[in-house]
Copies of this chain bind each other. A is one copy, B any other.
Amino acid sequence: MSHSILIVGGGPAGLAAAEALASIGRHSILVEKEERLGGAPILSGYAKLVPSGEWAKDAIGGMVRRVEGNPLVSVRAGRRVDAFEGEPGNFNVRLSDGSSTTVGAAVLCTGFTHFDSVNKPEWGFGTYPDVVTTTQVEQMISSGKGVRCPSDGRKPRRVAILLCVGSRDRQIGREWCSKICCTVSCNIAMEIREELPDCHVYIYYMDIRTFGLYETNYYWKSQEEFKVKYIKARIAEVTSNGQKLIVKGEDTLVKRPITIPFDMVVHAVGMDPNVDNRTIASVFGVSLQPQGFIGKANTYATFGETSRPGIFVAGSATGPETIDDSIAQGKAAAIAAYALVNGAKAAAQAA
């Protein structure tokens, strides 16, 4: 019988799970397929996180440093789980480096994959170099180089942010909302306006979903303090006149076609299921949801249960999720995994 917990994925949820277990004196093995921990916020170079306003490299970087320095967490970066067999309290794990170990339970914190904008070709990504993604703009900001047009390095004078790229779009099989892109886009719009006060920023939206208290700090602030302009529209296409990018669509409030030239167009890319989810489902023997995210039982009893006893799930592996909620879920699922193993131990001792 093993009391270690396997955590798969070193993003916010996985780091939080490892910290929660260490905080109650329990050992975990954290397997991450990339060479570095931190997940999307670190590996994709996010800038300031919502809603805290803290830089990703400080906020999530701090989680990474604490986990890497924690003697109760064995970090196995640059490796995958190739096999996972057994029963709660006694699972055999084989990693891609050929090593094996035994764990009592597992928590899948395997995250999401950013939507690839080349799957929405009519909106210009891959055709025009100044059509970029929110992730690229985050990288421009976090690098300290500022927001510049990739084609020639100039400061954009007009930027359009298109919401719901790869979200709420049945034409391309993504009917879900990615939950956080509205707020992230409001935040990016304010960052651009702060760096480039002469740049006009427009946000094209279907519904503005800056839910909860975000409303105050993002929706209102972006409009009133930062003069970001919101257009409720259905986008038809993004083309070029040789000098400017042209966004064509229908303003759904006035029911009229609108055509506006921009220097830069930003795709607010959604959250796809992790591209590895079929493999993950196969290796761990867990069910996927119809959309391809990992299935999760209700939260009322044991938190974060998958379809297989002893395997738990947390964060954006189960669907679009905020960083804050991924962290809470990582901790809650880790404690559920611990309790399962501990309960099995108590039962074994009583027998």
Contacts and interface: CB of A to CB of B under 8 A. Distances in A.
Interface of A: 16, 20, 23-25, 52, 54, 59-60, 62-63, 66, 168, 175-179, 207-216, 219-220, 252-255, 289, 291, 293, 298-301, 303, 319-321, 323-325, 327-329, 331-332, 335-336, 338-339, 342
A177 B212 contact: yes
Nearest to A54: B298
* Residue of A25, A168, A207, A319 with most chain B CB atoms under a 10 A cut-off: A207
10 contacts: A23-B335, A23-B342, A63-B301, A177-B214, A177-B215, A179-B212, A213-B289, A253-B253, A253-B255, A303-B331
Contacts of A208: 207
Contacts of A321: 212
B319 A212 contact: yes
Nearest to A290: B216
Contact of A327 (B175, B299, B323, B342): B299
A109 to B, nearest CB: 13
Contacts of A335: 20, 23-24, 331, 335
A142 B319 CA distance: 29
B62 A319 contact: no
A49 to B, nearest CB: 9
